[in-house]
A and B are shown apart, each in its own frame.
Chain A
């Protein structure tokens, strides 16, 4: 009983920390917007595919977000560097928006991230299956050799050993 009570008491803790994380995140995000509006605008618009991926990925590991995010950030990196190095001066709100090429580059990179995310897992799965089958074949060969050397009783004895009492 005591254990169950303790568990109940501990349950609200993550929700609270999540809430505080959101609060603190929003504050920091707001402050960053005030301090570095162009950068934050670029990142917000450029990293939109990653944000979407983060939202739709219900797994805890958020592999989709990482996969899309990695490539998406690579796409954002160039306009971001241009922004920071002042090669592209911001005159109005419209200047805060990346141009078409940048958009293509940013979302193309994010799309490549999606492509990676959809293409690599089947390849890896197929590879792991082949590895397992190969291992089973090796083990079967070992067993055949043991039977050839020691007779069928080896298998019978192992069956007996594995049989529950």
Chain B
């Protein structure tokens, strides 16, 4: 991890200039040199330079903390120069003074020509129908092909995200797309209908056709020189896209150059199967004609279904409207008119039957969570619009974007209850039941089953926190203990906790639910038994489990000495030490801990506390001591109980002794007298 080479000056008088931040000992990022014209929607741009190559022109994007960047894409594209794509130079977490915490910084080569839309607006450049193919479509198609070969989707194609790399404004490139979840920054108009209906964090990567759709919308914007649907709000835009189709909505009232009719129809098709893929676009660029797209009319009813003051002619618009007014929707659904409208108006008996079954099932299971208004609306929305996102209590996401949606929920509302309920109530399973299948679908279905398994267990290392980290590999650990350190890699966790020991209350344990879930999802070793110990209600078992897990991590990850963490953990081990019966052993351990803390070795502390030989000796000794105590107690009792009868027996013994004494004295004296008589 990178670190700031300079300390911020604390106090009322902040320095006029902030010192540059160093990333990987190579890149200097200047917090006091923002580059507003290079900002992306979720990341601010700042001037940056390479200390080893001062001539290079770079800039840095500082990601929003808590928003998971697309780490997989960054690791693949780092250092690569692909045609049509803004070159990613490096990335890493930095201690970012303006926010007072660590953030992900992404270093890009600076596009010297500037932003395309700014150039068009200033009149510096004009895009006409004759050169749009060579200047825009071809380089962008080239970029998308390069990304496709790496199984990456851009998901951030829009006019404002196009730049010229060179001063001559010849080399057009796609801008940043890795500082936020896929599609997060996209205005709805650039998203397909189904993904546009999802929350920004829940749009998902999708397929290459998603990028082609956005490219098609971008081309329409560039051809028209403005937003053709600026007069429509979100509801109007969706209604128009669903009922008229995207192409008609975007291009209906304007003149589209003949040469672009075919690709735009292909790219803006609302049917994912019919929409152009990259090969079709490539063929078109090569001059090969494609078979024309047959416009599939939307399934419409002549009889509108009135809901919330709006008349709906398609199940899809109705589904969206239901999920926006859920209480009213539940009432409408239970009234029974919906099934009739689906049967008679839409002519879809399957949907009508499914709605009726759902309503009947809800009536028969009243007071159950599965009969709640929210659940019914979520299920009905899936029945009405199976291609749409999963929508529940205001959270909507495509199944491939559950992870980012969860992270965004956590970031924005600090509450993941709704996301957890979706898994607990197995709403994704309902969604998958209405899909035609496919490998991707099966993969996601399996993932949701796994998540459901995690969620059912409430122990540390499981629950919604585990789901969060399993589905967001690039999300930093959200534990309050280390959140400011932006810990994405498990190797950085122990050093961060070591640092945290100096600033947090060390009466708290160094492992909370977020940390344990983070470790469980990122640490490759089997820690099932450790998680079991951490879930134990017994404090001592819990502490030994915690120490064992931290020691295993330090040993396995070959982490350097951790003086602060050792001291922190050592101070908490009282109850664990007290599990030894022998007080001398306890005292010896307590005496020895400080020397091990000075070594910074959790492994040594663990070996001291949990030595098998010592434990056996202690156990055996305790058993022997218990037996000895019991024997002594028994003997004392016997003596004390015998005190009453003992007086009598003592008298008897005394009488016996007196008799013997008398007889012996008599015998001795007689013997003496007899001997005397004989002599």
- Please report A residues at the B interface, Cβ cutoff 8 Å: 61, 63-64, 66-71, 73-74, 77-78, 81, 85, 113, 116-117, 119-126, 128-129, 132, 135-136, 139-140, 142-143, 146-151, 153-155, 157-158, 161-162
Residues of the B chain whose Cβ atoms lie less than 8 Å from the Cβ of A66: 659-660, 662-663
Interface centre among A66, A140, A142, A147 (most CB of B within 10 A): A66
Name which of B45-53, B149-157, B521-529, B635-643 contacts chain A.
Answer: B635-643
User: Does B236 sit within 8 A of A, measured CB to CB?
Assistant: no
Residues of the B chain whose Cβ atoms lie less than 8 Å from the Cβ of A153: 581
Interface members, chain B 607-660 (any A CB < 8 Å): 621-622, 625-630, 632-636, 639-640, 642-643, 646-647, 649-660
Closest-CB distance, B637 to chain A (whole angstroms): 9
Interface centre among B625, B636, B643, B659 (most CB of A within 10 A): B659
Selected from A70, A128, A132, the residue in CB contact (under 8 A) with B663 is: A70
Name 21 interchain pairs, CB-CB below 8 A, sorted by A: A61-B659, A63-B652, A63-B659, A66-B663, A67-B655, A67-B661, A69-B662, A70-B665, A74-B669, A117-B655, A120-B655, A121-B652, A125-B646, A125-B651, A125-B653, A129-B646, A135-B635, A146-B625, A149-B584, A158-B629, A162-B630
C-alpha gap A149/B628 in the complex (Å):
13
Selected from B650, B655, B660, B677, the residue in CB contact (under 8 A) with A64 is: B655
Closest-CB distance, A124 to chain B (whole angstroms): 3
Closest-CB distance, B352 to chain A (whole angstroms): 69
Is B584's CB under 8 angstroms from A121's CB? no
Is A139's CB under 8 angstroms from B632's CB? yes
User: Does B670 sit within 8 A of A, measured CB to CB?
Assistant: yes
Residues of the A chain whose Cβ atoms lie less than 8 Å from the Cβ of B441: none
In chain A, what residue has the closest Cβ to B670?
Answer: A77
C-alpha gap A78/B669 in the complex (Å):
11
Selected from B626, B655, B658, B661, the residue in CB contact (under 8 A) with A161 is: B626
C-alpha gap A122/B652 in the complex (Å):
10
Selected from A73, A85, A135, the residue in CB contact (under 8 A) with B639 is: A135
Number of A-B contacts (CB under 8 A): 153
Is B662's CB under 8 angstroms from A125's CB? no
Is A124's CB under 8 angstroms from B654's CB? yes
Rank and list the top 7 A-B pairs by shortest CB-CB distance, nearest first.
Answer: A121-B654, A125-B650, A70-B662, A124-B654, A158-B630, A66-B659, A120-B658
Residues of the B chain whose Cβ atoms lie less than 8 Å from the Cβ of A149: 582-584, 625
Is A136's CB under 8 angstroms from B654's CB? no
Closest-CB distance, B583 to chain A (whole angstroms): 6
In the complex, besides A71-B665, A128-B646, A150-B581, 19 extra interface pairs with C-beta distance below 8 angstroms are A61-B656, A63-B652, A63-B656, A70-B659, A70-B667, A71-B662, A74-B670, A81-B673, A85-B677, A117-B659, A120-B658, A123-B654, A124-B654, A129-B647, A129-B650, A136-B636, A136-B640, A148-B583, A154-B622
Residues of the A chain whose Cβ atoms lie less than 8 Å from the Cβ of B657: 120-121, 124
Is A150's CB under 8 angstroms from B659's CB? no
User: Does B256 sit within 8 A of A, measured CB to CB?
Assistant: no
C-alpha gap A86/B182 in the complex (Å):
141
C-alpha gap A62/B629 in the complex (Å):
42
User: Does B299 sit within 8 A of A, measured CB to CB?
Assistant: no
User: Does B369 sit within 8 A of A, measured CB to CB?
Assistant: no
Residues of the A chain whose Cβ atoms lie less than 8 Å from the Cβ of B634: 162
User: Does B666 sit within 8 A of A, measured CB to CB?
Assistant: yes
Is A71's CB under 8 angstroms from B666's CB? yes
Residues of the B chain whose Cβ atoms lie less than 8 Å from the Cβ of A73: 666, 670
Residues of the B chain whose Cβ atoms lie less than 8 Å from the Cβ of A85: 677
Residues of the A chain whose Cβ atoms lie less than 8 Å from the Cβ of B640: 136
Closest-CB distance, B530 to chain A (whole angstroms): 28
Residues of the A chain whose Cβ atoms lie less than 8 Å from the Cβ of B652: 61, 63, 121
Is A132's CB under 8 angstroms from B639's CB? yes
C-alpha gap A139/B71 in the complex (Å):
71
Is B658's CB under 8 angstroms from A117's CB? yes
Interface members, chain B 557-600 (any A CB < 8 Å): 581-584
Residues of the B chain whose Cβ atoms lie less than 8 Å from the Cβ of A74: 665-666, 669-670
Residues of the B chain whose Cβ atoms lie less than 8 Å from the Cβ of A150: 581-583, 621-622, 625-626
Closest-CB distance, A133 to chain B (whole angstroms): 8
C-alpha gap A123/B582 in the complex (Å):
44
C-alpha gap A118/B576 in the complex (Å):
65
Is A151's CB under 8 angstroms from B650's CB? no
C-alpha gap A69/B670 in the complex (Å):
13
C-alpha gap A143/B659 in the complex (Å):
40
C-alpha gap A66/B661 in the complex (Å):
10
Residues of the B chain whose Cβ atoms lie less than 8 Å from the Cβ of A121: 650-655, 657-658
Is A132's CB under 8 angstroms from B582's CB? no
Is B642's CB under 8 angstroms from A120's CB? no
Residues of the B chain whose Cβ atoms lie less than 8 Å from the Cβ of A70: 659, 662-667
Residues of the B chain whose Cβ atoms lie less than 8 Å from the Cβ of A78: 673
Residues of the A chain whose Cβ atoms lie less than 8 Å from the Cβ of B664: 70
Residues of the A chain whose Cβ atoms lie less than 8 Å from the Cβ of B633: 139, 143, 158, 162
Is A63's CB under 8 angstroms from B583's CB? no
Asked if A124 meets B581 with Cβ closer than 8 Å, knowing A61-B656, A158-B630, the reply is no
Closest-CB distance, B579 to chain A (whole angstroms): 11
In chain A, what residue has the closest Cβ to B664?
Answer: A70
Is B639's CB under 8 angstroms from A124's CB? no
C-alpha gap A143/B673 in the complex (Å):
56
Is B629's CB under 8 angstroms from A143's CB? yes
In chain A, what residue has the closest Cβ to B658?
Answer: A120
Residues of the B chain whose Cβ atoms lie less than 8 Å from the Cβ of A154: 581, 622, 625-626, 629
Asked if A124 meets B653 with Cβ closer than 8 Å, knowing A74-B666, A149-B584, A154-B622, the reply is yes
Selected from A67, A68, A140, the residue in CB contact (under 8 A) with B636 is: A140
Residues of the B chain whose Cβ atoms lie less than 8 Å from the Cβ of A129: 643, 646-647, 650
Question: Contact flags (1/0) for B263-277 with A, using CB distance below 8 Å?
Answer: 000000000000000
C-alpha gap A8/B450 in the complex (Å):
86
In chain A, what residue has the closest Cβ to B635?
Answer: A139
Residues of the A chain whose Cβ atoms lie less than 8 Å from the Cβ of B622: 150, 154
In chain B, what residue has the closest Cβ to A74?
Answer: B666
Is A128's CB under 8 angstroms from B653's CB? yes
C-alpha gap A119/B651 in the complex (Å):
10
Is B630's CB under 8 angstroms from A120's CB? no
Selected from A132, A139, A142, A151, the residue in CB contact (under 8 A) with B581 is: A151
C-alpha gap A70/B629 in the complex (Å):
47
Closest-CB distance, A142 to chain B (whole angstroms): 5
